Amino acid sequence: MGKIEAKSKEEKLRQQKEAEAKRRAYRDSKKELRQMQKEVKFDSDDNPELPKKRFYRQRAHSNPFSDHRLEYPRSPETMDWSKLYPHYFDLETKKMTSEVEIADIGCGYGGLLINLAPEFPDKLLLGMEIRVQVTQYVEDRIIALRNQHKNEVQNNYQNISVLRGNAMKFLPNFFHKAQLSKMFFCFPDPHFKQRKHKARIITNTLLSEYAYVLKEGGIIYTITDVEDLHNWMVKHLEEHPMFERLSKEWEKQDKCVSIMWNSTEEGKKVTRNKGSKWVACFKRLPTPDDCE
Ligand SMILES: C[S@@+](CC[C@H](N)C(=O)[O-])C[C@H]1O[C@@H](n2cnc3c(N)ncnc32)[C@H](O)[C@@H]1O
């Protein structure tokens, strides 16, 4: 390697290190605030700005099979939801007044949650995301929104939260049978190569878990810009005995479909690039008597 080449490589490395140090310092400054504000029931007077996404960037893919040392409850009964939804914790009874009903699986930067929040003011919505820094960004975004809207009785973002988790491993640890009414799978990682298909978030085995946590009549929403992945998801859902596809007419009249189409960060990117989007929605069928 020539001297000039080595020097420019060194310089590039130095710049990369400097940028990472800057990002880390920004996230650390938010960390203290996050820990203080995440669990407060009564809002403070601070009015934090919305976090800046560029300080939370992380590799696009995370291996769902690796051991991420994730925290998860032994069972749904042992999960402490009061930290995520402090406004829904009754200090007298020491119980939650509501439970999560809507889940955004692989929520990314949280756009869908934030747009769904005012549409479902009496329901709790949860984003589950495997990447640490992306989860932290959503946490900081929600804290900022809660503070900015603290004087509003409704639409104050107290009904949305996020947790770091691997939806392919621990869903039944968080949700009891028939708890959810809606599950969203928006622009899931496509895992293009054949040998990686097993890492896709819709598989036969996982669908049985989703059917377990969904109520009868509950909905699975899927959207992607990868036609092959769309066909894969449709095929697996159609083959599964607990799901039935909803019609295009149904999709047209459902408000969540249009929110899902327009509000996720990945979906906005696809729109900007004039790409195509494929949607499929499925209803969770009643459990046959002999399986109860
Ligand atoms: C392509 S992004 C889409 C993000 C978001 N849904 C959107 O539409 O903007 C897929 C997201 O799913 C997350 N993810 C992948 N596998 C996951 C898993 N097993 N559990 C939770 N999140 C996962 C990734 O980290 C990533 O943020």
Using the mean position of ligand 1's atoms as its centre, give its distance from the Cα of residue 134 in Å. 9
Using the mean position of ligand 1's atoms as its centre, give its distance from the Cα of residue 247 in Å. 26
Using the mean position of ligand 1's atoms as its centre, give its distance from the Cα of residue 196 in Å. 16
Atom of ligand 1 nearest to the CA of 64: 19
Answer whether 0.95 is exceeded by the pTM. no
Atom of ligand 1 nearest to the CA of 134: 27
Report whether 264 belongs to an annotated binding site: yes
82 pLDDT above the threshold of 80:
yes
Which of 72, 99, 78, 81 lies closest to 171, judged by CA?
A: 72
Whole-number Å distance between alpha carbons of 157 and 161: 8
4-24: average pLDDT = 84
- Secondary structure of residue 39 in the 3-state scheme: coil
Task: Reply yes or no on whether 189 is catalytic.
Answer: yes
Position of tokens 């955004």? 104
Protein residues whose CB sits closer than 6 Å to any atom of ligand 1: 62, 64, 106-108, 128-131, 134, 166-168, 186-189, 201, 264-267
Helices (H), the chain: 3-38, 111-116, 132-148, 171-174, 204-213, 227-239, 248-253, 255-263, 265-272
Residue 238, CA distances (Å) to 70, 231, 235, 241, 282 in order: 32, 10, 5, 8, 9
pLDDT digits (tens, 9 = 90+) for 203-220: 999 999 999 999 999 999
Tokens of 49: 């700005």
Atom of ligand 1 nearest to the CA of 265: 9
44 pLDDT above the threshold of 70:
no
If you classify domain 73-284 with CATH, what class do you get? alpha beta
Q: Report the share of the chain in percent with pLDDT over 90.
A: 70
User: Residue with the nearest Cα to atom 12 of ligand 1?
Assistant: 106
Confidence category of residue 67, pLDDT binned at 50, 70, 90: low
Report whether 273 belongs to an annotated binding site: no
Using the mean position of ligand 1's atoms as its centre, give its distance from the Cα of residue 152 in Å. 31
22 pLDDT above the threshold of 90:
no
pLDDT digits (tens, 9 = 90+) for 237-280: 999 999 999 999 999 999 999 999 999 999 999 999 999 999 99
Report whether 199 belongs to an annotated binding site: no
Tokens of 18: 């400097």
Q: What is the mean pLDDT of the chain?
A: 90
275-292: average pLDDT = 90
